[in-house]
Every structure is written in structure tokens, then in C-alpha cells.
Amino acid sequence: MRLSGVCLAVLMLAAVSCPGQTTHSATLNWNAPSDATAATTYSVYRAPGPCSGTPVLTKIASGIVPRNYVDASVTPGPYCYAVTAVAGGAESVYSNLAAATVPSFAPTTLTIIVQ
């Protein structure tokens, strides 16, 4: 989005799930747009399911200053994320879409002893 000579875009969004944990989260990291200022904040959007097709993204956080976000409200399954930059009351277009699949934490190594 271009506003008053400022072009805002978020680049290189990556979502990482953390397998092997009993609680789940997805950690998002992104690079600032080249024209970001100290006043630039970010909003995070999420959709359940894969990023293919046209995911319906819902804002889950806004006013974020660091260029990372931990989504601690996920349950096992696939998610699609995007981030926008906000400056001077104007919001950029979505960043690239990034997918994360949160693994289940099912029990493992089940054994049975029959006597």
C-alpha cells in the first residue's frame, strides 16, 4: 500500500510450530518493510486450515512492535498466517502467507503385558 509516498509491505513471514510439547504455540517472525519507521506496528492474521485457495484470515493481534509474535492459542491442526504493517493509521496489504501445522501430542510407546 502506498500512502503519502510511503510503501508498506511485510516481507518474509515464517511460522514455526514446536513439536514435542504438551502445550502448543506457533512463533511468527518477519522482516520489517524497508520504509518502516519507529512508529510502525504490525497486525497478525490467522485462518484455520492450509494456505491454499483463499483462506479467510481473522485479525488475532494488533499494535505489535517487535517483529515476532507467539500464537499460544493454537490446537493441533493446520493454520495459515499473514502480517500487515501499520503506519500513520494506514494498513499495508498482507504479507506472504505462511503455513504452520501444529502436531498433536498423542501418547507414544504404548505397550501391553498379557499374563
pLDDT greater than 80 at residue 28: yes
Q: List pLDDT tens digits, range 44-81.
A: 999 999 999 899 999 999 999 999 999 998 988 999 99
**Cα three-residue angle 10-81-31, rounded to 5 degrees:** 25
The two beta strands, 41-48 and 77-87, are antiparallel
pLDDT greater than 50 at residue 88: yes
C-alpha grid cell for residue 57?
484470515
State the pLDDT at residue 4.
33
State the pLDDT at residue 97.
93
Distant-in-sequence, close-in-space partners of 106: CB < 8 Å, separation ≥ 6: none
* Domain spans of the chain, in order of start: 2-102
pLDDT greater than 50 at residue 104: yes
Q: Architecture of 2-102 per CATH?
A: Sandwich (2.60)
Percent above pLDDT 90 for the chain: 47
State the pLDDT at residue 16.
52
Residue in the block written with cell 510511503: 6
State the pLDDT at residue 24.
80
Question: Which one-letter amino acid corresponds to residue 31?
Answer: N
Average pLDDT over residues 98-113: 81
Among 81, 105, 99, 101, smallest CA distance to 23 is for 105
Among 60, 63, 59, 58, smallest CA distance to 87 is for 63
Higher pLDDT among residues 15 and 1, named by residue:
15
